A and B are shown apart, each in its own frame.
Chain A
């Protein structure tokens, strides 16, 4: 098991009250990183110097009687697909190795403004494409609970960093489950907010209509706090919703009395490990005994989620990743002509999984195939949204496993993309619908490894989702 320190709210409270310094908090976490990072490889890049400067600034503010903000002195780790000014942002790809953005992502700016201290950039599957963090060009991250196992992915570095106590908070991005699945496998809380509630400005795009940034934390309350800090309208993102993030913290203790909870039938049978399904049932019982009305509900279209996702996400990716051509930034492989230079650069710069998805997406958008593939996938997407709408007409939140299994051994699925893709079967439909969902640690499976329960909600349904998560968290105490 991993050892984590105090949670973010406790740290911020102590720093704001002058009981602890941000510098002291930072050194404690840097110490934990020094002890275990070589073994886990959660980070692509550490920013100790900048972190020490940021911590000193927080301490100076406190000393001057100012409030550095709700995350005062809290170390955070950032997925390495979030742009950080002057700090390498690689997406774990050779093609961007060494590239430093000239600007910060909106979420990075908002975290800093709230007093958080960024400690480094975390490992991921290249361009967030994968479910194990084994697709990183810089080597895999290992699960802090069992280093022979994967941490999940694609935000495996961010999940492992929180699970290992390297930072009480981290940010990831979730296109098809890339926050929730590694959260489940690493035994931490992971949230994918409603599409549009957190700005994507400065998030290196994978599947733009699916990508959403969210937090990893050790507690539900910490995750809520991060959502409140990073969420809300941003004029720099045209898909950003014109509203603030719903206030969560005041509702965390509201309980679930009378809340209508549906367990998704399609996600409890075939393909789901029985020990994982058992934990979900146990979570449902806990909610029922806390006063919720729990029943099974069918959301038929979710069974088509995976197929639709593997057309929509690669199609968008094939276009989003076209800009990596060696002309303006990133690595370049020289060749006699511009076209050959682009080809050589992309051949050398992208890994196999990225190439596979670019090819899939290019094919799906091709003239003559668009209607059969991309067009049809968009129709499935509508069906999934409609089926969810029907379920939410009579339920406030839904429940399912986050991942079909607990953490699997490194190398177990890396040569079999289709098996790997099945890891996200429970998480993908939410992205297609644009809804929020989160993973809450709920005990362990037969192998003693963490199991996550997924709480799903309709668009802007974060309050009910967090209330449910808080009750689940409390039921384990």
Chain B
């Protein structure tokens, strides 16, 4: 299978993300909501689906759902819990309590770091299922010798966030999930760990010829366990569909399973033989109608969200929006803003934050010290290389950049001293100097390197280059 001709084909992607909400207890009972634990220890009568047990809605889960809804610019509305009926051994009641016709959050959007807006159709509350382990027969339920059921996860609150099919590439899909995860973490709704399954991504992919008005038939891909897999699965699935259509075949609507090992998607089940879930309102629960004043309190308590933080940083520092993404992701935007407020050069501040502050401890950096360092560099007291070294030490140990620079012997070189050094080198290396004068740019590094060696890195590379150019005559 080869890459598809994107001039002819358009890939349409919509994602359904299940986020486990970071509550202390389950969605409808007091059993603990914790990852791991010995099998079947985080349980109680409701988790087991015991006769006579009844669900009682977890208020904190509702608050987290509202936080996410507001962060995704959704309308928070009156909602109803429904039963989705289907038999499966790890589904204790053989129905899942979810929201169907009336979800708590509808009609929102999120903004990617590129500025692109992606629509959110709904974000609704539901309970998670348990986990089955099929022993023997290749791990699939139909051929297994026996199956083990662990209900620790059953009843854990999930928010299912259904995105609109606004995405067109694997890269956009990855950016969407990253952004969503950042929002979930920012509002404290979820830890966003894909590897622990607290963030699970199902992906709907279809293809159509560019300009076509109708969407193509879509396939849903499950079992995507990382952002990398998401991109790969989309690329594979889009190519598979294009190949089918090009060969005169048609795409069949179905659920497909991503296999990380062979890098392909495989048929899981056809939608045409799909279950009838017989949804109906759960009579054990009442309508969820959050008080408007509660919603307002939640809205006011929301922290600044990634998109707003990116915009603020870009505007304040006068840099393009894209340049702020990594900084905000690392949580360094407040530091940058404070440094700029303390007088640091915005462009230099942003460059350092983007390239030289990947260390997690950078978030604790003293903005005044950071600003002072940037000032020393811009003022010519430190070279770029020296500034980077001082910054690294500031991150590791803190302190005063002036003192650190002095301790390291980073004193700005005397102009006369540098001139003498450069003139000496020109005299010692006439051949190289001739090449430099002929405009061979590559030879610049030769002279700069010699100067750096002689000065143990104290010289400013830019100053050396300027000096060389001035000697060309």
Contact = CB atoms under 8 A, between A and B. Distances in A.
Interface in B271-292: 276, 278-280, 283-286
Contacts of A339: 87
28 contacts: A96-B51, A101-B51, A105-B52, A200-B54, A202-B53, A204-B51, A208-B283, A237-B54, A238-B55, A238-B57, A238-B286, A239-B283, A239-B286, A315-B280, A316-B280, A318-B278, A319-B95, A319-B278, A322-B93, A325-B89, A327-B92, A328-B48, A338-B89, A338-B141, A362-B278, A366-B278, A367-B278, A370-B280
A118 to B, nearest CB: 16
A374 interface: yes
A58 interface: no
A-B pairs with the 6 shortest C-beta distances? A322-B94, A209-B283, A208-B283, A365-B278, A204-B51, A83-B52
Given A101-B52, A325-B94, 6 more contacts: A204-B51, A209-B283, A239-B286, A322-B95, A328-B48, A367-B278
B85 interface: yes
Interface string B70-100: 0000000000000101010100111100000
Interface in A196-241: 200-205, 207-209, 235-239
A368 to B, nearest CB: 9
Contacts of B57: 238
Interface residues of B, number: 31
A239 B281 CA distance: 13
Contact of A102 (B45, B49, B54, B95): B45
Contact of A327 (B89, B278, B285): B89
B50 to A, nearest CB: 7
A89 interface: yes
A370 to B, nearest CB: 7
A32 B94 CA distance: 43
B147 A102 contact: no
Contacts of A235: 56
Contact of A365 (B85, B93, B283): B85
A316 B83 CA distance: 10
A327 B149 contact: yes
Contacts of A82: 52
Contacts of A362: 278
A252 interface: no
Interface in A366-393: 366-367, 370, 374
B442 interface: no
B285 A323 contact: no
A338 B89 CA distance: 7
Interface string A79-117: 000110000010100001001011101000000000000
Contacts of B93: 322-323
B284 A208 contact: yes
Contacts, number: 103
B355 interface: no
A342 interface: yes
Interface residues of A, number: 44
Contacts of B142: 337
B284 A238 contact: yes
Interface in A178-209: 200-205, 207-209
Interface string B298-310: 0000000000000
Contacts of A236: 54, 56
B55 A102 contact: no
A346 to B, nearest CB: 10
A319 B52 contact: no
Nearest to A204: B51
B147 A338 contact: yes
A342 B141 CA distance: 14
Nearest to A362: B278
Contacts of B49: 323, 328
A374 B50 CA distance: 26
B415 to A, nearest CB: 80
Contact of A238 (B52, B54, B85, B278): B54
B83 to A, nearest CB: 5
A305 to B, nearest CB: 18
A367 B85 CA distance: 12
A238 B59 CA distance: 12
Nearest to B284: A208
Contacts of A207: 283
B284 A102 contact: no
Contact of A103 (B45, B55, B95, B278): B45
